[in-house]
Amino acid sequence: MNRAVTILLAIPLALPLLAQPAATNTQRDQRLAWWRDARFGMFIHWGLYAIPAGEWKGQPVPGLGEWIMNHAQIPVAEYEQLAKQFNPVKFNADEFVAVAKNAGMKYIVITSKHHDGFAMFGSKVSPYNIVDATPFHRDPLKELSAACQRAGLRLCFYYSQTQDWHEPDGVGNTWDFPDASKQNFQKYYDEKVLPQVRELLTNYGPIGLIWFDTPRNITLEQSRQLADLVHKLQPDCLVSGRVGHNLGDYDSAGDNQISVGKVKRDWETPVTLNDTWGFKKDDHNWKSTTVLIRQMGQVASRGGNYLLNVGPTAEGVIPQPSVERLAEVGKWMKTNGESIYGTTASPFPYEEPWGVITAKPGKLYLHVFQWPGKEFVVYGIESKVKQARLLTGGAPLALRQQHHADSGLDELRIATPADAPDASDSVIVLEMDGGVRVTTMLLQQPDHKVTLPAYLSEVHHTAANAQLRFDSRGVVERWLDTGEWLSWDFQLSEPARYDVVAITSGQKYGKDWEGGHRVTVNIAGNDVRGLIGDDGKLDNPSNPYWPYVVSKLGTVEITKAGKQHVTLVPQQIVAAKKFGLTLVSIQLVPKGS
Ligand code: H79
């Protein structure tokens, strides 16, 4: 086989590889200190779109609530009228802040201007703002600024810098302003964006960060000007990853996408509580508290921040289902917060089958989602564990550590209560003698399965077809060509007969999935030829919008323990829809289990 021309290490897309931000690392580290410690924040999408709440002229408008002007192609002259009705008299800044604080959130990011162009603050730059254009006449951002300072939370602002459907020179409104040749984006940028960002950083006290969004066609120069303006006015204020051209102080994962693997830069993921950001009266698809707590742990275990959204109503009230779930997350945080705040990513490059790991110097926090019963087993911890205990309290747990000289495997066994101390996430903290050392090679896990995640593979291709890459969830995209293939090394401890299974991912909301590919998996000298077909769905609780598909490829007999090399070579890829082979992982499952 003459294929191995280039070898790349799989790196999730979230990593910017080229542009270097202007700030030095020390400056950025200082700016990021509070944010790295915080790990959990509240996103608030609030604006005129809360009035129609997903319905226009008696018709439900599908899609995101804050996109209603765009989706229903509402003319500016009509949409503007909403301002005259906007009177959120029930808004109470202290209550918003209390909901966030009680949930354990450390910062609040509120929409100061979304794509609809309406400023939720008193702006001298444009009369299209909440103080001048509504009967409310109050400035909620001023009130939130005072409330956040009273409560010790950081206030931050979302600002949509490129799209502005209200302005002829902003991007996105093709129904009122169809003639693109008449557009002068620079004028909009100079006369609205820069001066409004200046107002936000001048009139509201210290601001934690500005959350720019959808940079679209913004130039490098424009992104740089924005980032520089923020840092000039408030040197400690962070700039979000979506300012464009990798000039942010940290990276942003895609909306509702949870990155996997070792993410090198600081990152944050914005997540919806239901399926919209701005309030929609018919959206009742709330994520369960268990999903929220586990997602937060997953994000922290990969070194990121979890920014969880609420969409207040036109009256200024956070919907009750949101308040309830956040209170439950807060209850969990009161007992387990030390396993989230100020932690760093898991030292393992892969996910354990039972949950996730966060770390502090000399400590590992095992977030156990699948409670094992009376004995809990972890492989790959090399450093000596001094103590194991549950964050829910009680005496230290009995433990036994063993190094198997023959296989090199380090095994930790912990005696645990029969029932899970917490239904969502029971945290066991391990205290080490000295630093934390682990085996980073992929290991067969105590549940006897082997998982080979796509994002930990080596990618091989011939020069002509280097397209395959990883989205920020670590799932393969653009695998359309049989000239690209993957390989892994892993450590097997139990020789046996295994089912070889491929896990692939559907597109968002499970709308699309492309199957019918033929692949060969080579393990321990055996070829397993199989079809990537739909043999069943797999729940993907951490990312419910992207369901997984299971394909049974065949079986393989592995007769010897030790290091194994695996290749996955496609023979035929169906790429009519351009999704191709959306690999999540290859799994070896003991036959009959
Ligand atoms: O503020 C929230 C979204 O409104 C904003 N980002 C989060 C934090 C966002 N703006 N654009 N996008 C996200 C991506 C837009 C994708 C699109 Fe569509 C696909 C625009 C039109 C089709 C998604 C689906 C938005 C409307 C329908």
Residue 189 DSSP one-character state: I
Band of pLDDT at residue 381, cut at 50, 70 and 90? very high
Question: Are both 39 and 157 inside the same structural domain?
Answer: yes
Domain-terminating residue out of 440, 468, 491: 440
- Distance between CA atoms of 389 and 430, rounded to whole angstroms? 7
Band of pLDDT at residue 511, cut at 50, 70 and 90? confident
Question: Are both 145 and 294 inside the same structural domain?
Answer: yes
Protein residue with least CA distance to atom 27, ligand 1: 63
Question: Are both 31 and 138 inside the same structural domain?
Answer: yes
Within-domain flag for 12: no
* In the block, residue with structure tokens 């964050």: 391
Summarised one tens digit per residue, pLDDT across range 340-368 is 999 999 999 999 999 999 999 999 999 99
Question: Are both 422 and 456 inside the same structural domain?
Answer: no
Within-domain flag for 22: no
Q: What is the pLDDT at residue 135?
A: 98
Within-domain flag for 8: no
Distance 63 CA to ligand 1 centre (A): 9
Question: Are both 468 and 430 inside the same structural domain?
Answer: no
CATH number at residue 510: 2.60.120.260
Residue 202 has pLDDT above 50, yes or no: yes
Q: What is the mean pLDDT of residues 112-119?
A: 99
Report the candidate in 138, 146, 57 with the shortest Cα–Cα distance to residue 96: 146
Within-domain flag for 368: yes
CATH number at residue 409: 2.60.40
Distance 110 CA to ligand 1 centre (A): 16
Q: How many domains does the chain have?
A: 3
Domain-terminating residue out of 440, 458, 491: 440
Domain-terminating residue out of 421, 440, 459: 440
Residue 2 has pLDDT above 60, yes or no: no
Question: Are both 560 and 578 inside the same structural domain?
Answer: yes
Band of pLDDT at residue 584, cut at 50, 70 and 90? very high
Distance 67 CA to ligand 1 centre (A): 7
Distance 254 CA to ligand 1 centre (A): 10
Protein residue with least CA distance to atom 2, ligand 1: 277
Question: Are both 432 and 571 inside the same structural domain?
Answer: no
Question: Are both 63 and 123 inside the same structural domain?
Answer: yes
Within-domain flag for 215: yes
Summarised one tens digit per residue, pLDDT across range 152-173 is 999 999 999 999 999 999 999 9
Protein residue with least CA distance to atom 20, ligand 1: 67
Question: Are both 157 and 297 inside the same structural domain?
Answer: yes
Best residue among 162, 255, 545 to mutate for probing ligand 1's pocket (most ligand atoms within 8 Å of CB) is 255
- Please answer whether residues 123 and 204 qualify as being in contact, where contact means their C-beta atoms are separated by less than 8 angstroms: no
Within-domain flag for 16: no
Within-domain flag for 486: yes
User: Ligand 1, closest atom to CA 270?
Assistant: 8
Best residue among 61, 64, 173 to mutate for probing ligand 1's pocket (most ligand atoms within 8 Å of CB) is 64
- Distance between CA atoms of 421 and 426, rounded to whole angstroms? 6
Binding-site residues, ligand 1, Cβ < 6 A: 45, 63-64, 66-67, 213-214, 255, 270, 277
CATH number at residue 299: 3.20.20.80
Distance 242 CA to ligand 1 centre (A): 13
Q: Can you give the residue range of the structural domain that contains 402? A: 355-440
* Lookup: tokens for 114: 């979304």
What is residue 325's three-state secondary structure? helix
What Rg, from alpha-carbon coordinates, does the chain have? 25
Question: Are both 74 and 43 inside the same structural domain?
Answer: yes
Within-domain flag for 189: yes
Write down how long the chain is.
593
Question: Are both 431 and 459 inside the same structural domain?
Answer: no
Protein residue with least CA distance to atom 11, ligand 1: 214
* In the block, residue with structure tokens 């397209």: 467
Question: Are both 89 and 141 inside the same structural domain?
Answer: yes
